[in-house]
Amino acid sequence: MKAAVYRGPRDIKVEDVSEPCVSGRQVLVKFRAGSICGTDLHFYRGEWRWMKHGRIIGHDACGVRVDTGERVVMVPLVYCGKCYYCLRGLPTYCVRGKFMGLTSDGFFAEAIAIRPGNLIPMPDCVSDEEAAIVEPVALALHVMDALKPNVGDWATIIGQGAIGLLMTQIARLKGCRVIAVDVRDYRLRLAEKYGAEICINAAEEDAVKRVRAITGRGSDMVVEAAGTVQTVQQTPFLVRKAGKVALVGESKGYLNLEDADDALFFTTYISPVEYPLAVQLLAEKRVDVRGLVTHRFSLADFEKALQTADTPETKPLKVVITA
C-alpha cells in the first residue's frame, strides 16, 4: 500500500509499504482524509530532528472501519490507563504511550491497524474534510479548559494560522473578548470573521503597546500559537500580573519575568479527552473548520501538498489530503 514516509528534512515522500497487520483487539481502518499540521512542517523543515527515519507521518485524519463500514475520526494517542499520569487524568503523558505519526506510524497511509478505543464515530452531517481537522479543535478545547477564562476576559492569541483561528473560535464560545495578533492581513480578516474584537498586525505596529492600551493592564490570558521563539519571548509583556500564558506553538526561548508577577506559564499538547466534544461541536456547526481549508491534494500528491503548506505565498491554512 501507499504511505507518506519520513526519510529526513525535505524528504517526505509517498512510498510502497507493507500492509498493516491486524492483531489482538485492533481493527483495520481505510484512510479517507487527513490534514497537514504545523508539527509535520517542523519535521519537514528540519527544525525538529528526532523523528525516526522510515516513520509514516500524520496524526489528524478520518477513515472507514473495514469490519463495520462506520466512518470514524482517529485519535492518535495510545495510552495505558494505569500509569502515574493516566491515573491523574493526563493520558497525553502516559509513560508507555505512543503518539501516532510522531513516535509510532501515523495516519497518512491507505490503511492502518488501530484499537477501537481510538476511534470516534463520525456523524453523517460531518464531512470527511471537516473530520480531517478535529485535532486542532480538540487542542483548542484543551487549552481553553486549562486557562479557565471568565466571561469577558481578554484573550490575546498570537498567530492566526489554523490553530490560532480555532483558538479564537473556542475563546469566543467561552465568552472571551479576543485580540488576534498576526503579521498577515488575510489571516487577521479571518480572525475578525470568527469573532476577534481587535486585530493587530504585528509587522505594522507594536503589539505589546497596543494590547496594554486596549486592556489597561495586559491581557488576562495569552495563547502563543505562532510557533516562533520571538513570539514566546513576547508573552510576558502581553499578559497582566497574575494572568495566564499557554505556550502551544513553541516553548523554546528566554522568558523575562521581571514584570509578570504571579503570572502562570504552561506548555500543553494534544489531549484525547476532548475529541468527542470536538466532533460534537463540528456536528452542531458551532465551530467552523471548512473555512480554514485552502488547498486539497490526494495522498499520491503528498510531496506537493507539503511544499504548498510550507510556502507562505500560497496563503496556506489547512492543507487537506484525501485518499
What's the rounded mean pLDDT across residues 163-183?
98
Average pLDDT (146-157) is 97
pLDDT in tens, 213-227: 999 999 999 999 999
Enumerate domains of the chain plus CATH numbers: 2-133+289-322 (3.90.180.10), 137-267 (3.40.50.720)
pLDDT (0 to 100) of residue 252: 87
Looking at residues 297-322, what average pLDDT do you find? 96
pLDDT tens digits along 9-65: 999 999 999 999 998 899 999 999 999 998 899 899 988 788 899 999 999 999 999
Instruction: Give Cβ neighbours of residue 182 (< 8 Å, ≥ 6 apart).
Output: 158, 159, 160, 161, 164, 188, 191, 199, 200, 201, 202, 226
More confident residue, 7 or 250: 7
The pTM for the full model equals 0.95
Helices (H), the chain: 38-45, 128-131, 135-147, 162-173, 185-193, 207-215, 229-238, 275-283, 302-309
Q: Is the pLDDT of residue 114 over 80?
A: yes
pLDDT bracket for residue 108 (50, 70, 90): very high
Give the position of cell 496563503. Answer: 315
The DSSP output letter for 34 is: E
